[in-house]
Structure 1
């Protein structure tokens, strides 16, 4: 004899079986991948490393930190991944900053050898302060632009037989005015013992863009220098150099 279940019990039984079957056939959840914070940290580190590599100035263990950060991210250890990625980024940024500091320092040394205008001196001092404060890129940007400007206004002149400071100054490509010769003398006082005696082969730095005050002082000295003799350093020349002792 077959036992018949009431319809309501049969419906409940079928529903239960359906729920169980449904749970058993749910798709398996796949890993979601790195969080947005991890991805952001890795991307920032990668960009900083690219900058350092472009300068060929990346520290040896920076890439090791980045590789370890990627590994931690794959393992789902977000805190470690972010910490290591930030370490790689900071190292890469420090390396780039150091690169520009090393480039800026000799620029400052060279600029200090030139006769600069008031504005140029102020810019040079700003660049020097940036170096002192460890701001490599800022120092480099300021000093490289200033040095390019100064170099374009300065030329090198090599003395040939028969030259004199008077004659060099009168050349059209120099000052086109012989009375400005003291500018050459002052800019090269470390090479010139006597303003009346220069030698073939000497290389002089010529500032083609002196200030109006510098030109006035030079012309005034040339016109009021007084008597002179070859082989002696006149007192008026020493005064013009500001008391600087010439060898």
Structure 2
């Protein structure tokens, strides 16, 4: 074989080898090249997830802010944070938007908590103003007070308000006996154990006993078992108007002692 023919065969072999060898491998590498973008696809996909989270949090912040305004009136304590959250969302800064929305949420929640704390403390003061609480009612009062101390002001307010409504509306009855008067009835241990509180009985029954000096035996009277301090003080003031007719009496109203006439 001539030298030229031999070189041609070698070159043909190399071409054949290349067609199934390194050229094929080169083609394989080019085919594999698109795998690199797929490796960064999760990073690119993370942006829409973060955006959705930021939008959801902003919606939550705006919703609770609306509730707070409805509850408190013209409340604007979260306006700056909401504006920052919207601006960051528009600029594509999801983390900054989330942070601003969280701050708005916290401000609104604190404002609501403070509002119910004020209401609960007012109801707590009312609860302590009622007289004649039984053991169960005292336990309810103390439990609600503990809830308020732990920071759940909304729950405490609801429980105290319910208790106060029960104490305010509760009535028991007393059947008039022979020889009774409002003075005598109020002084009975099962009623008020304090004759000076007879105006409370009159007030609760004024529709049936317009004249407090006239009672009928067998008449059923309503009695408030839990008058508050203001009602007690008013009753004593009214009773003092007739006190001159009943000298020498020094009754007791719980811890309040009524002095004798001057």
Partner of 1:77: 93
1: CA distance between counterparts of 2:99 and 2:162? 38
> Cα–Cα, structure 1 residues 182 and 168, in superposed 2: closer, same or farther, change >3 Å?
farther
Larger radius of gyration: 2
- Aligned match of 1:125: 142
Aligned to 2:222: 174
Match of 1:40 in 2: 56
1:95 and 2:138 are equivalent in the alignment: no
Asked if structure 1 preserves the Cα contact closer than 8 Å seen for 2:130 and 2:226, the reply is no
Structure with the largest fraction of helix: 2
Label 1:189 to 1:140 Cα distance change in 2 as closer, same or farther (>3 A).
closer
Q: Identify unmatched segments of 5+ residues in structure 1.
A: 1-28, 176-180, 200-228
Aligned-residue offset at 1:182: 10
* Aligned CA distance change for structure 1 residues 188 and 119 (closer, same or farther; 3 Å): same
Aligned residues: 188
Change (3 A) 1:114 1:170: farther
User: Which of 212, 231, 236 matches 1:163?
Assistant: 212
Query: 2: distance between equivalents of 1:188 and 1:137?
Result: 28
1:148-168 CA-partner distances (Å, limit 9, x unpaired): 22222158538788525x959
Contact 1:194 1:232 in 2 (8 A): no
Contact 2:168 2:226 in 1 (8 A): no
**Aligned CA distance change for structure 1 residues 233 and 195 (closer, same or farther; 3 Å):** farther
Q: Which runs of 5+ in 2 are unaligned?
A: 1-43, 172-199
Please give the alpha-carbon distance, in whole angstroms, between the structure 2 residues aligned to 1:79 and 1:231.
79
- The alignment status of 1:145 with 2:162, answered yes or no, reads yes
Query: Do the aligned residues in 1 keep the contact of 2:64 with 2:105 (CA within 8 Å)?
Result: yes
Q: CA offsets, 1:101-123, max 9 Å, x none?
A: 22222222222221222222221
TM-score (norm 2): 0.55
Confirm whether residue 190 of structure 1 aligns to residue 237 of structure 2.
Answer: no
Compute the displacement of 1:230 (Å). 3.9
Whole-Å Cα distance in 1 between the matches of residues 236 and 219 of structure 2?
22
SS at match of 2:220: coil
Write the distance in 2 (CA, Å) between the matches of 1:112 and 1:182: 14
Counterparts of 1:73 and 1:113, CA distance in 2: 52
Q: Aligned-residue CA RMSD in angstroms? A: 4.4
Tell me, what secondary structure is at the counterpart of 1:174? strand
Aligned to 1:246: 258
TM-score normalized by structure 1? 0.57
